[in-house]
Amino acid sequence: MSYIWILFFTILIVLVFASFFIVKQQTIAVVERFGKFTRDYGAGINMKIPFIDRVAGRVSLRIQQLDVIVETKTKDDVFVHLKISVQFQIQREHVYNAFYKLQNPHEQITAFIFDVVRAEVPKMILDDVFVKKEEIALAIQRELKEAMLNYGYDIVKALVTDIDPDQKVKIAMNRINAAEREKVAAQHEGDAQRILIIERAKAEAESKRLQGLGIADQRREIARGLEDSVDVLNNVGINSQEASALIVVTQHYDTLQSVGEATNSNLILLPNSPQAGSDMLNNMIASFAASNQIGEQMKKDNAAKGIVNKKSTREGPNEPPKTEFDY
């Protein structure tokens, strides 16, 4: 009798354990009864009829990724390898179609990728393949979405992750890129040299402008000094012509003095015209007369102020006073 109870409890425990099953998160369990689909179960502890119902399979609802490398030829006859990454997932409400209608989804998706890539890439040259890879990815995603929707699959994203041309083509492209970079570098160097020359010319022009302003200011001050000298001479009764002659002679003697002070000077001053000698003599005579006139005026001013000239007292009473030109 005890053996019967042990057998009964053993069968009961087996039936209990056979009636319950666990489904993981983001997973759907497909249950069949006598080989026919009954229902699908979500995550958690679920119950079925032991030995009648069975778990036919499990379907993941997580996003999956499939990487496919496609070899094709571009419009300019260049063979390239494109790496396509497709992200997809099974829709919860279409688990039945995903489980029963499509036996190998990876092969189906791969076939569609090959079909789309080999239809789009031969329309483009190699450079356009690099530029328009987003358009290629969108075409793949659009085509797969329409085809796989009937099987319960949703295409989340399609990406062209790598474009690998033939090795000889890559070497040629590297040479072209290097030549293009050298060309750009040469252009930048030329622009820099041109800017440097322009700035140097501007600086030189500014220097000459400032130098001209300095010369103009110098001549302006000289003219003011000459004007003041003429005014001083006019105040003592010397007309402008005589004053100008006196100034010229004074500057002439100052020049001769500065030349004479230089011991190793080889400078010789010559008249620049046949009449220059007589003009110089006339200027000297006019300057001497102006000097005598200045001396007489100064003596009159001193006499009016009561100042006695010491040289006059030492000279005889009958001798006329001597000027500085009599010495």
Sign of CA dihedral 236, 242, 244, 246: negative
Q: Which residues pair with 164 in a beta bridge?
A: 81
- Superfamily (CATH H level) for 64-165: Band 7 domain (3.30.479.30)
- Backbone phi, then psi, for 322, in 5-degree steps? -90, 145
CB atoms within 10 A of CB 86: 24
CB atoms within 10 A of CB 110: 17
Return the pLDDT at 236: 62
Could you tell me the CA-to-CA distances from 283 to 26, 242, 325 in Å, in that order?
Answer: 121, 8, 15
CA 314 to chain centre: 91
Return the pLDDT at 82: 92
Return the pLDDT at 84: 93
Question: Whole-model pTM?
Answer: 0.50
Q: Using CA atoms, how far apart are residues 54 and 50, in angstroms rounded to an integer?
A: 8
Q: Using CA atoms, how far apart are residues 208 and 268, in angstroms rounded to an integer?
A: 31
Cβ contact 83:122 at 8 Å: no
Cβ contact 75:123 at 8 Å: yes
What are the strands, taking DSSP E only, across the chain? 20-23, 27-33, 36-41, 44-47, 53-60, 64-73, 79-90, 153-165
Domain regions of the chain by residue span: 2-60, 64-165, 167-235, 237-262+275-327
The secondary structure of residue 77, as a DSSP letter, is S
Q: In a structure prediction context, what are the per-residue pLDDT tens digits for the chain, which is 327 residues long?
A: 577 777 777 777 877 777 888 889 989 999 998 888 888 888 888 888 888 888 888 999 999 999 999 999 888 888 889 999 999 999 988 899 889 888 888 898 999 899 999 998 999 988 888 898 899 999 999 989 988 888 889 999 999 999 888 777 777 777 777 777 778 888 888 888 888 888 888 888 888 888 878 777 777 777 777 666 666 666 666 666 666 666 666 766 666 666 666 656 665 555 555 555 566 667 667 666 766 777 677 777 777 766 555 444 444 444 444 444 343
